[in-house]
Structure 1
Amino acid sequence: VRDDYKNDKALLHCAHASESIALCLYMMKGSPADIHHALDTTAAIYARLQVASPTLSLVRHAARTAILSSEIFSHMLSEHMDAASAALIRGSSATDPKLSGLGICSAVFLERAAYCDLQARNPKFRKYGFRMVMAGHVYSLLGYEPHAARCYSCARAVYANSRWHHVDDHITGTLAKQLVGLALPQQAIALLLTRIGSGRHAKGQQLTLLAEFYDLVSEYLQDHSAVGISNFHVMESGGQSAKVLLIKALVIPAIHDPSVVVFAPANALALDDVAASQPGRDKLDWKQQLEYLLMKEERIEHVATTSAQSSWLDLSVSSAAALQLPLLLRGGKKHKHATDPSPVYMVGEAVYVEFTVKNPLAVEVVLKQLHLFGSVQGSSNSSSSCSTSIDFPVSQDEMGTAVVTVDRQDIALPPHAEAVVRLSVVPHDVGVVRIQGVRWALNAHVHGEHTFDLPGMLLQDSLESRATRARAPNTTLVCDIQPAMPWLGVSFTRDGNPLPTPLTCLEGEVLTLDLHVANKGSYALSHLTLVCSSWLYVVEGAAAGGDDDDAVVTSRVVGASGHVTTLPTLTLNPNESKSFKVHCSSRTLGPQHVRFLFRYANTDNSTRRVVPVEFEIEVLKGLTVSHAIHPSYNDITEYVLALSVRRKCNMVHDGDNEDDLSLGFVYLM
């Protein structure tokens, strides 16, 4: 019958017959090649007839053939998915979107063809994304914005985080505009942020994107009744009912979580000096050695005074095992199960948090009011009524008293620049401060928030923990605030002037330095102890302001080596300072570092802290004077006195190089 229709030039009836033949072959499980040939013949006839005389009936026939072909090929083996996709594409081209009633068939066929490409034996992801974009475009032309947004969202999942940046930018920008039209401004803002935060655009384009982003946020804040997402919060700011949008995980700027360091002040100097010091100062090798020396000398003192059978000489040469001391591991090594001691945080002293930020954009970014946020919980024996958890920076207890003081900074990041930011919080009461992250203001309407994510140590206690790579909780950002401590400030001077760098002295020369100690805290300071193994030194006592013997601050040597000196009668009240004379001498030639360690405590000696002090010296060899007396050859009543002065400077780093200076003097007597 098909051939008869073809010979009679009845092409429409011939197409109907070919379509029926394909359907019969499919139901009888015929040859896929014959089915494919029959359907292709039908589609070709409809296409030829539509070019000759386009009518609505031909569009309906072509659409029916496309649906039938796709269903037949999709229910066969997976290698025929390409044929199903091709049939749908032909059907979409035959259905003009401008035709009423059947215009939407073009978009539906394109979307169905995309799914056929995805279900093929070798999935074609990029072809799927491309055809979803085409379907979304047709939906948008027909006014079906929700379907258009759905297609663009599916396409974006293919091109996001790929090398096809321009395609991703086009899809993201188009989808953001559609979401605005669908009354979903927060989702549109989130899409714009992903495009801005990529940092792959030129400077002018980034400025345009930022302006569009700020305008969209400003419009949203005027009426924020739309459905929101969890990362966006509208807050009140200022006293004029101004509203700002707080965006969690804002990508401007990028914050590197592994660079987060939390530390307490490294010494008891002024706050400016503390802020300029580097974190990790407590891990210096020489400081650990002096602490170990202090512990050893105190152990020798204790054993010698409590046991009558132990002599000072024997104890001074005793091993660490004999003194029951832990071994000091050199070279920064420690036991595999050992952990660093947790830092000590005190009331009224700053807790510093340091981290690295990076500007991913090609334009300058100004961050205003950069500050930490978290929560604080007072202890049961706290002086305030802060018994429950209170969030900061808006942190006041029930009495309206500030619980913590938060440091706020404004920084400007040049294009593609990195910077190290150091922020601080000062607790005013005993408790637990939990630092969660950092917040900042990007402009008047946009505020950002970043929550620190610090992974804990991998657990090795069981096979299950190793298999699941379970981690212990990281307590770096949890600060246990202890009661207030005194605040020791230490400085050395000579004749009222600061020490030069380096300080020059002669071998065996006795220098007299002025030691100034001050309590800059709010509690009394006592139990001051000095440790120094670089010099031979003696601390001269000073008057404490009274006339009796108890008013004199005396020094006492602890241990057997003379390296440790304590001032047992010294007590410094808040804002009180004292000066001592330190007589010191060096027996080692050449440049060297003199290191002191000052340990102090509160009045009841319950909590102790240390302050390291270091300065450079250069020790020169002293003068050697020799003389000789001989009778004068000219006059028997005269004698000749010959003096020879020699100075030898032997540097440690110069090896055997010596600077000899000999002077001769002759006197007649």
Structure 2
Amino acid sequence: ELKNTSGLLYPPEAPELQIRKMADLCFLVQHYELAYSCYHTAKKDFLNDQAMLYAAGALEMAAVSAFLQPGAPRPYPAHYMETAIQTYRDICKNMVLAERCVLLSAEILKSQSKYSEAAALLIRLTSEDSDLRSALLLEQAAHCFINMKSPMVRKFAFHMILAGHRFSKAGQKKHALRCYCQAMQVYKGKGWSLAEDHINFTIGRQSFTLRQLDNAVSAFRHILINDSKQPPAQQGAFLREYLYVYKNVTQLSPDGPLPQLPLPYINSSATRVFFGHDRRPAEGEKQAATHVSLDQEYDSESSQQWKELEEQVVSVINKGIIPSSFQPTQFCLNRYSDNSRFPLAVIEESITVEVSFRNPLKVPLLLTDLSLLWKFQPKDFNAKHGGETKELGMCDDDMIGTEAITEFLINSEETKVARLKLFPHQTGELHILGVVYNLGTVQGAVTLDGIDPSIGLQTGKFVSNGLSVRGRQDLEIQGPRLNNTKEEKTSIKYGPDRRLDPIITEEMPLLEVFFINFPTGLLCGEIRKAYVEFVNVSKCPLTALKVVSKHPEFFTFGGNTAALTPLSPSASENCSAYKTVVTDPTSVHTALLSSASSVDFGVGTGVQPEVIHVPLPDAVLLPGASVQLPMWLRGPDEEGVHEINFLFYYETTKRHSKMCHRVLRHTAVICTSRSLHIRATVCRSNALEGEEGRGDNLLVFVDVENINTSETGVKEFHIVQVSSNSKHWKLQKSVNISEDKDTKLASRERAKLCFKAVRCKNSEGRLSHECENYTFADIVFGNEQIISSASPCADFFFQSLSSEFKRTHVQSHTHASQRDVKQSFDETVRLIQRCSEVDLNVVVLWKAYVVEDNKQLILEGQHHVALNTVGKEAFSFPQKQELPETVLLKFFRPENTPVPAKPTPEQLSNLIKTSLHYPESFNHSFHQKSLCLVPVTLLLSNCSQAVVDVMIDLRHKTTSPEALEVHGSFTWLGQTQYKLQLKGQEVYSLQLKACFVHTGVYNLGTPRVFAKLADQVTLFETSQQNSMPALIIINNI
């Protein structure tokens, strides 16, 4: 029986209960208006009697009756329900009735779309008394929030979390999991990482309890792979939970495929693959070739340079053609290299894969038994058939040897690379799939540099907490975005990246190179002798060894005439780098002649000068053999730091279908400091009576300046020898003979040398390209002659010559199209130009005395000056050209017909060389004879190879200021005009007479000489460049 709080109990015939029963009957027959009136009357009676339980029931039913009335004459009295709920809960202490009333009122409010009031009503009844009731109410309130006109999504998710928590406390695991999963849909991907972590952790635990292991693993995985903001202790707990769950999963199917692990992160695009073995380090004086290693940063510019060098040497080997199958050697493949083709690896040589791991957590990760996962398909490339595919080759060490890293610790939030190796023992196709490892954690605190000393540092082992799982991660590398065709540009397409799919080829030779006594600093032009050791560390013989460099003028192995002595570096410590001979004292300042063919030094053979053949004994290096060869170095002409790349090219003795050659790289860094600066000019000279080469003599002026700074410790330079090398000219003797045999130059001192040069006898009448023999003339200032036609002096000369030829060759090719126009005119111009051309090269050899650590060293070196044009100054290294001032931009239409080249006035003036021969002073008695006649010889030399018409005009009167200073005038007697024809290189003497009427000093240099080629019309006037006045003194006796 229902009792109110005061213990009042109504008898069955009580009028209050009768009215209540009448109201119930009206409600049952759906007479809701009468029912409402009766409930309202009963409510008043019950309240008057303080029967609160009866009053609350009457209020509840009155509100329902009002709601159910058709047409709704009155609004729904929500306050009735609230009063009833309050009465049940607070006065009557009957939570079951209050709960019923709340659910009923909430449904009424929801039907009226009053979701906010319904949610507030449901939340108000939650309490700590009953977890299950509170969970139900919170879940219903959450649904109210999501069903509002403007859904309150975050409130829905929040109250779902609260409901799930209360379900969990009530032991309703499935309901709790359902609530958390629904809330996760809202929080996922919003960046609320702490909320996500909490939800995922709870989902993982509930799923594990319900034995939904896959869901549990997925939930824990999400906690670990997101950038968590949890403290380290919490992250460690998450990781342990994950490992524990994962271990249970793997125990269910121990023979199944390895699962994918989420930690650590792998940056697949940063994966690098290196083909090559670990090279021996430098020993003592030996310096190993730098080659390529994983420790070097990738540089696209240098990579392109190495590719060009390799193409250059392959082109030379294949007679100027690069084969279509040519694949540039790439030792290290990364995200920047060209990975579109399958890389080639050699059997029995290691393949190193560098994998970049990142630990996103604040706790360290310990990877054990870390190794590569691969697939291999054996193939014999000679037999042209494939083999079976081995999916997982971890046990097949007879095919591919796999190196495992026992322990690999990654500290908190650290990025660390692991280098894993494979050793192929069979030819075929290898596919590297990923990595396999055991994932675990470390006990205790770990410092950034490793593990705390208290935890097993002495044994070198990290102490694991015993919880680890074995799994894998795949290396999936996306190729470069394609952007060539229109279709590729308008869509997103990626090309292949095959760096993890090498082809294992047959065995190849493997070269190691060591440099002995290789300098790091040189003077400009300094010659130093070093040694190179070549070692074949493979089981194959090695042949066709070549070296290619962009700077062939920096080094030489000696020409065919070079003697390989001394053979060892120790025997060469005190020897000169040059081949020297003691000279006879009588031969000082006169030329000592020798000759050499440019073919012996690799010039003029058609082979590019950058590709140098390495003179191996018998041209083969056997397996395990080593050979030491001398190598002469010459400091570059410009000061500063120079990076010089060497590419060593070699082949196997038997041809392979896949790999034809191999290369080895070395980068030498040389710092050069200033030494000498040499400038030279050449001008035509007159031969003395009875002297060799009457028709063609040259004066060579050499200006040597010591521009070295005292910082390098150089005390002084000695010019020990000046040599010339040319096909047509040779130095004859030194003109300015001083008492000192040696020319010494202290800092900033300058020496001026003058030499006489004559034409070689064997070059007369020959064209330059028909003669490959060079005449070497050595003028010695000391006691020893350096044989300039032998190695290394001649090597560096010919290399400088070939680089000079290469520059002019490129320039001449640019004008090739213009040379076809007006061929005859061009030939004329060429003949005139050839008159002023001189093919004479001067080599200045020097010694420098250096004080270093209280010891005096003698350094040797040489500088080259190429004299090409008469009267034009040449330098030992190219002068820096000043940038022209900016001019206004002009637009014009280019002419289709190129303008033919015209000879310059300087070139025209050198067509005919004139000289006057006369007595310096002439005595005459004007008292006896008023006219003084002086015989004068005009010597005309044809400097060209062609027939030249010459006209001499004696009527010319000088009006120049220099001539006016000379007192008086004179007259030429006889013909005033002469017309002559001179053959090529002909010297003609013309006898003239000058007539004087007074004593004094006269200038005889008044004749004007005109010349033209025999088959041309235009006359060119010739003049003596920088000629002195031809002064004669007339004395009276």
TM over 0.5: yes
Aligned partners of 1:42 and 1:465: how far apart in 2?
69
Q: TM-score, normalised by structure 1?
A: 0.70
1:532 aligns with 2:571: no
Cα 1:365–1:66 change in 2 (3 A) is same
1:574 aligns with 2:627: no
Aligned partners of 1:615 and 1:188: how far apart in 2?
59
Q: How far off its partner does 1:128 sit?
A: 1.5
Provide the residue aligned with 2:372 in structure 1.
372
Q: Select which of 18, 22, 31 maps to 2:63.
A: 18
Aligned partners of 2:132 and 2:384: how far apart in 1?
69
Aligned partners of 1:562 and 1:166: how far apart in 2?
69
Cα 1:610–1:643 change in 2 (3 A) is closer
**Structure number, greater radius of gyration:** 2
Confirm or deny: 8 A CA contact 1:371 1:408 kept in the other structure.
yes
Aligned partners of 1:571 and 1:151: how far apart in 2?
79
Provide the residue aligned with 2:273 in structure 1.
262
Provide the residue aligned with 1:666 in structure 2.
none
Cα 1:586–1:267 change in 2 (3 A) is farther
Provide the residue aligned with 1:414 in structure 2.
411
Confirm or deny: 8 A CA contact 1:267 1:612 kept in the other structure.
no
1:46 aligns with 2:75: no
Confirm or deny: 8 A CA contact 1:646 1:662 kept in the other structure.
no
Task: Give the residue type in structure 2 aligned to 1:597.
Answer: L
Q: Equivalent residues in 2 for 1:155-170 (5 A)?
A: 155-162=183-190, 164-170=192-198
Confirm or deny: 8 A CA contact 1:395 1:402 kept in the other structure.
no
Q: Select which of 257, 260, 265 maps to 1:248.
A: 260
Cα 1:432–1:421 change in 2 (3 A) is same
Task: Give the residue type in structure 1 aligned to 2:370.
Answer: L
Q: Select which of 181, 192, 206 maps to 2:209.
A: 181
Cα 1:385–1:190 change in 2 (3 A) is farther
For residues 72-123 of structure 1, the C-alpha deviation after alignment (integer angstroms, 9 at most, x for no partner) is: 14xx5xxx44345345445x639x874xxxx855433432332332343433
> SS state of the match for residue 389, structure 1?
coil
Once the two structures are overlaid, the 10-residue window that deviates more, 614-623 or 477-486, is 614-623
Provide the residue aligned with 1:428 in structure 2.
425
Confirm or deny: 8 A CA contact 1:625 1:644 kept in the other structure.
yes
For residues 126-164 of structure 1, the C-alpha deviation after alignment (integer angstroms, 9 at most, x for no partner) is: 211211122212322332211111212222343345454
Q: Equivalent residues in 2 for 1:9-88 (5 A)?
A: 9=47, 10-24=55-69, 37-39=76-78, 41-55=80-94, 58-59=97-98, 61-62=100-101, 64-66=103-105, 68-69=107-108, 72-73=111-112, 80-88=114-122
Cα 1:287–1:648 change in 2 (3 A) is farther
Cα 1:514–1:389 change in 2 (3 A) is same
Q: Select which of 600, 603, 612 maps to 1:565.
A: 612
Q: Equivalent residues in 2 for 1:431-580 (5 A)?
A: 431-443=428-440, 444=466, 445-459=468-482, 469-494=492-517, 499-500=518-519, 502-504=520-522, 507=525, 509=527, 511-534=528-551, 535-539=554-558, 559-566=606-613, 570-580=619-629
Q: How far off its partner does 1:275 sit?
A: 4.9
Task: Give the residue type in structure 1 aligned to 2:262.
Answer: L
Q: How far off its partner does 1:598 sit?
A: 0.8
Provide the residue aligned with 2:668 in structure 1.
615
1:4 aligns with 2:53: no
For residues 536-571 of structure 1, the C-alpha deviation after alignment (integer angstroms, 9 at most, x for no partner) is: 52346899xxxxxxxxxx997774453312359522
Q: How far off its partner does 1:592 sit?
A: 2.2
For residues 233-257 of structure 1, the C-alpha deviation after alignment (integer angstroms, 9 at most, x for no partner) is: 7469xxxxxxxx9651322x22223
Provide the residue aligned with 1:228 in structure 2.
none
Cα 1:263–1:625 change in 2 (3 A) is closer
Q: Equivalent residues in 2 for 1:2-401 (5 A)?
A: 2=37, 3-8=40-45, 9=47, 10-24=55-69, 37-39=76-78, 41-55=80-94, 58-59=97-98, 61-62=100-101, 64-66=103-105, 68-69=107-108, 72-73=111-112, 80-89=114-123, 93=126, 98=130, 104=132, 106-162=134-190, 164-185=192-213, 187-196=215-224, 198-214=227-243, 220=248, 224-225=251-252, 234=254, 247-251=259-263, 253-265=264-276, 275=293, 277-278=295-296, 280=298, 284-294=303-313, 297=316, 343-379=343-379, 381=381, 387-396=387-396, 401=398
Aligned partners of 2:184 and 2:386: how far apart in 1?
49
> SS state of the match for residue 494, structure 2?
coil
Confirm or deny: 8 A CA contact 1:70 1:85 kept in the other structure.
no
Provide the residue aligned with 2:808 in structure 1.
none
Provide the residue aligned with 1:240 in structure 2.
none
Cα 1:343–1:108 change in 2 (3 A) is same
For residues 644-667 of structure 1, the C-alpha deviation after alignment (integer angstroms, 9 at most, x for no partner) is: 5225699xxxxxxxxx9999xxxx
Q: Select which of 594, 603, 612 maps to 2:653.
A: 603
Q: Percent identity?
A: 20
> SS state of the match for residue 67, structure 2?
helix
Task: Give the residue type in structure 2 aligned to 1:344.
Answer: L
Task: Give the residue type in structure 2 aligned to 1:122.
Answer: S
Cα 1:508–1:216 change in 2 (3 A) is closer
> SS state of the match for residue 575, structure 1?
coil
Q: How far off its partner does 1:264 sit?
A: 2.5
Q: Select which of 642, 645, 652 maps to 2:744.
A: 645
Confirm or deny: 8 A CA contact 1:373 1:439 kept in the other structure.
yes
For residues 503-558 of structure 1, the C-alpha deviation after alignment (integer angstroms, 9 at most, x for no partner) is: 4356252x333222122223332222211332252346899xxxxxxxxxx99777
Cα 1:626–1:462 change in 2 (3 A) is closer
Aligned partners of 1:643 and 1:117: how far apart in 2?
106
Task: Give the residue type in structure 1 aligned to 2:415.
Answer: E
> SS state of the match for residue 379, structure 1?
strand
Aligned partners of 1:641 and 1:578: how far apart in 2?
45
Aligned length: 558
Aligned partners of 2:278 and 2:246: how far apart in 1?
46
Cα 1:123–1:466 change in 2 (3 A) is farther
Confirm or deny: 8 A CA contact 2:535 2:624 kept in the other structure.
yes
Task: Give RMSD over aligned pairs.
Answer: 4.4
Aligned partners of 1:524 and 1:555: how far apart in 2?
27
Cα 1:5–1:224 change in 2 (3 A) is farther
Cα 1:507–1:212 change in 2 (3 A) is same
Q: How far off its partner does 1:339 sit?
A: 7.6
Aligned partners of 1:350 and 1:117: how far apart in 2?
64
Q: TM-score, normalised by structure 2?
A: 0.47
Q: How far off its partner does 1:438 sit?
A: 1.8
Aligned partners of 2:185 and 2:555: how far apart in 1?
73
Confirm or deny: 8 A CA contact 2:378 2:387 kept in the other structure.
yes
Q: Which is helix-richer, 1 or 2?
A: 1
Task: Give the residue type in structure 1 aligned to 2:668.
Answer: F
Q: How far off its partner does 1:387 sit?
A: 2.1
Q: How far off its partner does 1:379 sit?
A: 2.5
Gaps of 5+ in 2: 1-35, 48-54, 282-287, 327-337, 441-465, 565-599, 677-715, 721-737, 750-847, 852-1037
Confirm or deny: 8 A CA contact 2:546 2:611 kept in the other structure.
yes
Q: How far off its partner does 1:409 sit?
A: 5.5
Aligned partners of 2:96 and 2:341: how far apart in 1?
84
Cα 1:359–1:475 change in 2 (3 A) is same
Q: How far off its partner does 1:370 sit?
A: 2.2
Cα 1:350–1:121 change in 2 (3 A) is farther
Aligned partners of 2:41 and 2:173: how far apart in 1?
48
Confirm or deny: 8 A CA contact 2:126 2:133 kept in the other structure.
no
Confirm or deny: 8 A CA contact 1:384 1:429 kept in the other structure.
no
